[in-house]
Amino acid sequence: MKLNKSKSVFTFCTVLIGIILLFNSCEEKKKSNADQKNKDVAESVTAQDVIPFFQHWNLILGNGSNVGKATDYENKNFFYTTNDDKESWVVFKSPNAGNTHGTSNNTRTELAQLKKWSPMTDATMDATLKVMNVATTGDASVAATYSVVVGQIHSADGHENEPLKIFYKKFPGHTKGSVFWNYEINTAGDDNSKRWDYSYPIWGYDFSVVGSDANTYPPEPADGIALGEEFSYNVKIEDGIMYLTFTSKGHETKTFTKNLIRSEYVNRSDIPAQVQKLFVPIGQDGVERKNAYTEEGLFFKLGCYNQTNGKDPKVNKVWCSGAETHGGDIQKQYADGNYAEVWFKTANITISDDAISNAGYFEANDGLSGKVVYPSEVIPFMDKFKILMGDGTNKDDLINFEDKNFFYTVIDGTRRWVVYKTPNSGVTSKNSSNTRTELHEKRDWTPEEGGKLTGTCKVMQVSDSGDARVAASYSVVVGQIHSGEGHENEPLKIFYKKFPGQTKGSVFWNYEINTAGNDNSGRWDFSTAVWGHDMSVIGTSKNDFPAEPKDGIELGEEFSYEVNVYKGIMYLTFTSKGHETRTFTKNLISSEYVQKSAIPAQVQKLFVPIGQDGTERAIAYSGELNYFKQGAYNQTNGKSPEKNMVWCAGAETYGGDIAKQYENGCYTEVWFREATIGAGTPPQ
């Protein structure tokens, strides 16, 4: 009986398991069929079927291309339809890095309206959407990180600024994100680099709420919007006024009004506290023209404008996120969440019959990111110079010339710069241990004849390796006067130097004596601090660094210099926002170092111990031909400090492999946005 009972139990269990397996199989089949049905529905439905207005727009994709009208169009990487079991949606998707449109740092899959209209006419745009993904990497202290713009008003004229950007932003690990909108000023004057945004919170935070560092996030917003949660916006323009309405189930409806034809920011005293906190520290502190966007053609944009990019935050601490981009590989970015994705289920626009063609905007911006802008277009004095680059290549004609490894242009989010980049080890000029990507003036002049060189620059990188005991380690020369005769010494070298792990570096200038006699081995430099330390402040051991300078300059922080040689006297002026302006005077035709007793204590400390204890000829550089140099003259090299404890840095060079040095921070990079050259002038 026990055996039969066991057999009955076994049979019952077997049948039960079979029923369960059959049920699960049916459920899986039903789910598979449902998924296939949704897929089939999505594939059979075009974006035009979901939102029938694509004849009014051009579609820009996340690869930078303008595909024109999106009627009956799809691209599975960027723009397609899907179904969420309830209804169909149009998907806009864009990676952290790809080709961009116009001068933007950011990729977008976004509609741009084919017509533009005056803010004095009537126009509306409304949409219902849900954000499905924002980038999972970036720098939390950068305001644009982890965000996407889902709707805009853009100017087609003037500075092409944006009176409206509607953002969604969510920090990693948070369930809820923020929705806010920004107004960008229509900057007064011709210089648009000082433009800024003022941000209004809708649900959650505004744009200015950032992390205290790259990986520390503010608290999650209590009234925020989750990924996948629907919200709607309505934008209405009437008689120069913008009316905004934002709605979402379970959230308070929010409304705003903004005057687009009369500015409230015409004076510096009008700049709001939020802007003072976020934009003013990076030099974006402009004012707006009185009539704001009056008389400019405006147009709507809608979609997925990814605000998280891979650019280094030291380039711009508001807009450059430093996110993962996998070298621009779109599929790898999609695979690990480094993209933005927005779904729209409804959208609509209406505009006045007075609207006109917006073709000019597309003609100006289509393919612009792929067009070469040469250094000579940014700084027009390049006809006065030749260049030596970090691989030893010389080029005499710099008009319409660039080299992507050493000498080219970039945009930092507000303006173009000329980049000078060079490794710790490459091919150098004669008599130098150091590589350079540096301009060399074609004209020679004596100190008595004089000349003037100016430059506004920011140092973006100095070598991450070196020996802290060596004065030249971790430094770059960004401007020089060089002698072309005699000993070919240098009456001026302008340095930037920053030790690893420190935020602020030092700017200082050196005067090298024009050594008396035929033996130049005893030459030395005297160093004068501008902001931070002078050259003689060094570490006590290879990896032991002195204290960080309190009044120093950070990587990515602008400073300017003027070198004015007039009737044999060199006048130096150094300026940087937030720092004291410093001026110096040096006689280039009469020496103060003709006796051993005149050698300064700084030189006694730094140079005399290595046998460099010469004196200078009484007339210094008088009558000797000189020339200016500007760019990136890397002072950190791979030579053993045992050879020279002032100039041989013992840095990593990867056997001279330039690509490996660039990958591992063993290089220097300097950006210039303005520079001039000309005759010396009477000092002010």
Is residue 538 located within the same domain as residue 666? yes
**367-403: per-residue pLDDT in tens?**
766 788 999 999 999 999 999 999 999 999 999 999 9
Is residue 126 located within the same domain as residue 252? yes
Span between the terminal Cα atoms of the chain, in Å: 117
The rounded distance, in Å, linking the Cα atoms of 174 and 226 is: 9
Is residue 330 located within the same domain as residue 246? yes
Determine the pLDDT at residue 41: 47
- Mean residue pLDDT of the chain comes to 93
CB atoms within 10 A of CB 652: 19
Torsion-angle region of residue 480: left (phi > 0), alpha (psi -120 to 50) or beta? Answer: beta
In a domain, 29, yes or no: no
In a domain, 40, yes or no: no
Tokens of 597: 């007793």
Q: Is 519 helix (H, G, I), strand (E, B) or coil?
A: coil
Determine the pLDDT at residue 142: 97
Question: Residue range 103-127: average pLDDT?
Answer: 95
Q: Which element (helix H / strand E) includes 454?
A: strand 451-461
**Does the structure show a pLDDT above 60 at 362?**
yes
The four Cα atoms 546, 604, 635, 669 give a dihedral, to 10 degrees, of 50
Determine the pLDDT at residue 43: 58
Is residue 355 located within the same domain as residue 436? no
| pLDDT tier, 23 (very low <50, low <70, confident <90, very high otherwise) | low
Is residue 294 located within the same domain as residue 424? no
Determine the pLDDT at residue 10: 45
β-partners of residue 458 are: 671
The rounded distance, in Å, linking the Cα atoms of 120 and 518 is: 77
Is residue 278 located within the same domain as residue 176? yes
The rounded distance, in Å, linking the Cα atoms of 351 and 366 is: 24
Q: Which element (helix H / strand E) includes 605?
A: helix 601-606
**Does the structure show a pLDDT above 90 at 19?**
no
Q: Is 17 helix (H, G, I), strand (E, B) or coil?
A: helix
**Does the structure show a pLDDT above 70 at 36?**
no
In a domain, 18, yes or no: no
Is residue 257 located within the same domain as residue 355? yes
**250-293: per-residue pLDDT in tens?**
999 999 999 999 999 999 999 999 999 999 999 899 999 999 99
Q: Is 404 exposed, middle or buried (0-12, 13-18, 19+ CB in 10 A)?
A: exposed
The rounded distance, in Å, linking the Cα atoms of 553 and 560 is: 12
| pLDDT tier, 101 (very low <50, low <70, confident <90, very high otherwise) | confident
β-partners of residue 340 are: 94
Is residue 618 located within the same domain as residue 545? yes
**Does the structure show a pLDDT above 70 at 439?**
yes
Residues in the chain: 684
The CATH number given to whatever domain includes residue 596 is: 2.60.120.200
- The count of structural domains within the chain is 2
β-partners of residue 665 are: none
| pLDDT tier, 28 (very low <50, low <70, confident <90, very high otherwise) | low
Question: Residue range 219-229: average pLDDT?
Answer: 97
**Does the structure show a pLDDT above 80 at 407?**
yes
**372-382: per-residue pLDDT in tens?**
899 999 999 99
In a domain, 155, yes or no: yes
Is residue 328 located within the same domain as residue 394? no
Is residue 665 located within the same domain as residue 608? yes
Question: Residue range 425-446: average pLDDT?
Answer: 90
Cα distances (Å, whole numbers) of residue 434 to 477, 489, 500: 11, 15, 20
Determine the pLDDT at residue 432: 75
Cα distances (Å, whole numbers) of residue 342 to 71, 302, 502, 541: 19, 10, 40, 54
Q: How remote is the C-alpha of 24 from its chain's centroid?
A: 53
Strands (E) across 46-174 are located at: 57-60, 79-83, 88-95, 108-113, 115-116, 123-133, 147-155, 164-169
Long-range contacts from 536-541, C-beta under 8 angstroms, 24+ separation: 536/471, 536/602, 536/605, 536/606, 537/506, 538/468, 538/469, 538/470, 538/471, 539/467, 539/468, 539/469, 539/499, 540/468, 540/469, 541/468, 541/469
Determine the pLDDT at residue 366: 79
The rounded distance, in Å, linking the Cα atoms of 326 and 586 is: 50
Q: Is 32 helix (H, G, I), strand (E, B) or coil?
A: helix
Cα distances (Å, whole numbers) of residue 450 to 280, 427, 566, 597, 625: 37, 31, 5, 30, 10
**518-574: per-residue pLDDT in tens?**
999 999 999 999 999 999 999 999 999 999 999 999 999 999 999 999 999 999 999
Cβ–Cβ < 8 Å for 312, 209: no
In a domain, 356, yes or no: yes
Determine the pLDDT at residue 351: 95
Is residue 544 located within the same domain as residue 646? yes
The rounded distance, in Å, linking the Cα atoms of 244 and 186 is: 19
In a domain, 31, yes or no: no
**Does the structure show a pLDDT above 80 at 18?**
no
Determine the pLDDT at residue 14: 52
CB atoms within 10 A of CB 585: 9
| pLDDT tier, 25 (very low <50, low <70, confident <90, very high otherwise) | low
The DSSP secondary structure of 83-104, one letter per residue, reads E-SS-EEEEEEEESSS--STT-
Query: Domain end: 340, 370, 400, which one?
Result: 370
**190-205: per-residue pLDDT in tens?**
999 999 999 999 999 9
Cβ–Cβ < 8 Å for 117, 123: yes
In a domain, 663, yes or no: yes
Q: Which element (helix H / strand E) includes 5?
A: helix 2-44
Is residue 366 located within the same domain as residue 392? no
Tokens of 302: 């809608």
**Does the structure show a pLDDT above 60 at 31?**
no
Query: Domain end: 370, 391, 421, which one?
Result: 370
Query: Domain end: 336, 370, 404, which one?
Result: 370
| Nearby residues of 508 by Cβ (< 8 Å), 6 or more positions away | 494, 495, 497, 527, 528, 529, 530, 532, 533, 534, 535
In a domain, 565, yes or no: yes
Where in the sequence is the domain holding 659, given as residue range(s)? 383-678
